Amino acid sequence: MDMQQLTKIILASELFNNGTPQVHIASQLRVNRDTVRLWLKSIAEFGLMEFLDQYRAAKKGERQKRKISVQLKELVYSIRDRERDCCGQKIRYFLKEDHRISLGTTTIYKVLAQKYQLRTKWKKNQVRGPVPHAEEAREVIQMDTVDFGDLFAFTAVDIFSKEVDVLLRPSLTSYDGLIFLETAMARRFDGHSELIQADGGPEFKDEFKANVYRFADRYRVARPYKKNEQSYIESFNRSLRKECLGWTKYKTNQLPELTKELETYLTWYHHRRPHIGLNMKPPLPIT
């Protein structure tokens, strides 16, 4: 126990009782004036001797770290499982929205690390290439495909609103690309975008390219080996695998059941799943 600090508390009380202003007390004792103010407030509330006893007790040993209850840990785990392995920020959102519980993101990740193997999300000092920029919905739409064996998922994302669309096709031709272009633009993206961007795959050539200007003012092919130019759709593709279809190789005859599963997923994605880029709101109003 620092006896000099206790002496300063006693002197502060005596000086204040003698009419010395708090700012002068702080200057004479070489203590921050906020510290003096808190001392005097506690002395007025508890009395000098009681406050000194409380001060001594508070300074004995290290404070115990706040413990997270087993029930709260289980709630964190259940939210992660229920919301398709969502991140700590989204778990924090659901804790507050659904249970009125405030818990820091760092604490949530510490809890998750006790049960799950968490992967590093990014690399520091990684060089970032240019990416399309949008200031309103339907300004930029990125498109791509994901290989699921005998089926291929054609994917698209509005990089501003974060709305997405997915269509499973049995082949990877430019005709399949055209079917996806017509379907996605009609049912999800209001029929038009200022810019559509895709990679240089064969599914985005020939018939797709010949029709893309029906739905966009400009068409841009992302540079090869520059995945950052397709960062938004690449991010969604990872979410599609992680949260819905996984890394399984599917057969063509599974198309109908997987399409139903996708419809359920897209409804959840648009109306339930909070998006960090949208201030923890889903792309569309919650239903």
Q: Is the pLDDT of residue 66 over 80?
A: no
Containing structural domain, residue 99: 70-113
- Using pLDDT thresholds of 50, 70 and 90, give the confidence band for residue 127: very low
145 and 108 in a single domain? The answer is: no
Residue-wise pLDDT tens digits, 156-183: 999 999 999 999 999 999 999 999 999 9
Does residue 258 sit in the same domain as residue 192? yes
> 179 and 267: one domain?
yes
Which CATH number characterizes residue 274's domain? 3.30.420.10
133 located within any domain? no
Same domain, 169 and 271: yes
Residues 151 and 272 in one domain: yes
Task: Look at residue 249 and tell me if it is in a domain.
Answer: yes
pLDDT value of position 72: 92
User: Does some domain include residue 120?
Assistant: no
pTM of the model: 0.67
Residue 241 located in a structural domain: yes
In a domain, 119, yes or no: no
Total domain count, the chain: 3
Beta strand 151-158 with 140-148 is: antiparallel
Does one domain contain both 188 and 252?
A: yes
Whether residues 151 and 175 fall in one domain: yes
Give Cβ neighbours of residue 18 (< 8 Å, ≥ 6 apart).
Answer: none
Band of the pLDDT at 129, cuts 50, 70, 90?
very low
* 125 located within any domain: no
3-state secondary structure the chain: CCHHHHHHHHHHHHHHHCCCCHHHHHHHHCCCHHHHHHHHHHHHHHCHHHHHHHHHHHCCCCCCCCCCCHHHHHHHHHHHHHCCCCCHHHHHHHHHHHHCCCCCHHHHHHHHHCCCCCCCCCCCCCCCCCCCCCCCCCCEEEEEEEEEECEEEEEEEECCCCCEEEEEECCCCHHHHHHHHHHHHHHCCCCCEEEEEECCCHHHCCHHHHHHHHCEEEEEECCCCCHHHHHHHHHHHHHHHHHHHCCCCECHHHHHHHHHHHHHHHHHHHHCCCEHHHCCECCCCCC
Residue 43 and residue 94 in one domain: no
